[in-house]
Amino acid sequence: MSNNRAYLESVLHHDIPLTRDMGLKVLDWREQQLSLYLPLDRNVNHKSTMFGGSLYCGAVLAGWGWLHLRLKEEGITDGHIVIQEGQISYPLPVTGDAVAICPAPEAKAWKKFLAMYQRYGRARLTLDTRIVNQGSEEDAVTFTGQYVLHR
């Protein structure tokens, strides 16, 4: 478990330097669900809540990180992950530290994604992430992203 967490955190901090400034940490990778931590003090806005742009980044990165770890588990290392499109909603303010969560998509969608990639060298996957105030279960942010993997 912890080696995947440390691995992903080092990849994010190296490949996407902004994640260092955001104070982003990989909290957990368990049962194909990824959780990332975002501290308020590094991502605060003028109203003392979390900046919407940081929340958008956290939501995108939860999906990106999820896909990165699942591909690693499948032994697929030749692809590049990009976000193609994203829809975000901010139903609640984030008033403290936040947790971004990306669960696994449906197994059928994952199998189709892998088959498309193996056949064409390019595939698209939709991932849903959410962000909660740490210690809460209520969605403060909901995000749906279309990620593309290409060789």
Angle separating helix axes 52-74 and 2-15, nearest 10 degrees: 120
Flag whether pLDDT at 34 surpasses 60.
yes
95-135 pLDDT, tens digit per residue, is: 999 999 999 999 999 999 999 999 999 999 999 999 999 99
Distances (CA, A) of 19 to 31, 36, 102, 107: 24, 11, 17, 29
Global pTM?
0.96
Phi, psi of 80 (to 5 degrees): -115, 130
52-70 pLDDT, tens digit per residue, is: 999 999 999 999 999 999 9
